[in-house]
């Protein structure tokens, strides 16, 4: 599923609606991210990995199948499922584009277990998280610092560092980067950022 919002077809609306639930419901995003990391997975595997009740696991998997972002790869019991790749570009606020990818969906799915990601989404929305994710990738490649991100996005350096650290596991899992970014312990002046905030 690779589309851009500039196309003017009914497919774009259908594709966007099919991923909208993933961005609004962290448990669905978490399930999609788990399936995207796996080759083929049964509902039993989903239940064990995500600690879901059987009924909940079947309901969520069926919702994702109905939305077209997960497909059945084996009809015999136990059925096996796999996630379809998502790469949907949307425009937010009239001119700012961001791309909904498995990495972004994974980051949204971590909202339930990571308070820093949850807070960032509350303050800046999913579009803001997508932007932060692109900075996190650039940070791991050694191309930007938390201070540059903070200046560009008009947020405090501490807020930038916190979200970059929260997104680091997502970046390392989804992107082929040579890690060269500094850790929180390596950043000078973090205490100054706390005083400035």
Q: By residue range, what is the domain housing residue 58?
A: 2-83
Q: How many domains does the chain have?
A: 2
Assess if residue 106 is contained within a domain. Answer: no
Domain co-membership, 68 together with 126? no
Do 15 and 78 share a structural domain? yes
In a domain, 139, yes or no: yes
Looking at the domain assignment, is residue 89 inside a domain? no
Same domain, 67 and 123: no
Q: Are residue 76 and residue 118 in the same domain, yes or no?
A: no
In a domain, 166, yes or no: yes
pLDDT greater at residue 85 or residue 150: 150
Per residue in 104-132, pLDDT (tens digit) is: 999 999 998 999 999 999 999 988 999 99
Tens digits of residue pLDDT in 65-93: 988 889 999 989 999 999 988 877 777 66
Could you tell me if 10 and 78 lie in one domain?
yes
Tell me, yes or no, whether 172 lies in a domain: yes
CA angle 37, 49, 169 (to 5 degrees): 50
CATH of the domain at 56: 1.10.10.10
- Flag whether 153 is in a domain: yes
What is the pLDDT confidence band of residue 170, given thresholds at 50, 70 and 90? Answer: very high
Checking DSSP bridges between strand 87-92 and strand 2-4, what pairing results, if any? Answer: parallel
Higher model confidence: residue 127 or residue 155?
A: 155
- Dist. CA 135–CA 145, nearest whole Å: 8
Question: Do 7 and 79 fall within a single domain?
Answer: yes
**Burial of residue 45 (number of CB atoms within 10 Å: 0-12, 13-18, 19+):** middle
Token code pair at residue 103: 């990495």
- 195 domain residue, yes or no: no
Note whether 129 and 69 are same-domain residues. Answer: no
Q: Which of 44, 63, 83 is the last residue of a domain?
A: 83
Taking the C-alpha atoms of residue 34 and residue 60, their distance in angstroms, rounded to an integer, is: 12
Residue 84 has a CB neighbour count (10 Å cut-off) of: 16
Asked, for residue 108, whether it belongs to a domain, the answer is no
Give the predicted TM-score (pTM) of the model.
0.76
Neighbours of 131 (CB within 10 A): 19
């Amino acid at each position: 599923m690779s589309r851009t919002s500039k196309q003017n077809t009914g497919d774009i609306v259908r594709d966007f609606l099919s991923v909208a639930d993933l961005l609004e419901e962290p448990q669905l995003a978490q399930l999609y991210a788990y399936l995207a990391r796996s080759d083929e997975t049964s509902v039993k595997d989903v239940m064990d990995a995500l600690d879901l009740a059987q009924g909940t696991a079947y309901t969520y998997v069926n919702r994702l199948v109905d939305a077209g972002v997960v497909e059945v790869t084996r009809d015999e019991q136990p059925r096996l499922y796999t996630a379809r790749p998502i790469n949907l570009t949307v425009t937010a606020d009239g001119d700012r584009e961001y791309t909904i990818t498995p990495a972004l969906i994974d980051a949204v799915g971590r909202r339930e277990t990571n308070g820093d990601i949850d807070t960032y989404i509350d303050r800046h929305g999913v579009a803001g998280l997508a932007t932060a994710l692109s900075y996190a990738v650039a940070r791991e490649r050694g191309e930007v610092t938390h201070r540059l991100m903070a200046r560009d996005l008009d947020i405090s350096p501490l807020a930038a560092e916190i979200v970059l650290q929260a997104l680091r596991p997502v970046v390392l899992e989804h992107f082929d980067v040579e890690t060269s970014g500094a850790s929180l312990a390596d950043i000078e002046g973090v205490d100054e950022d706390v005083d400035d905030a």
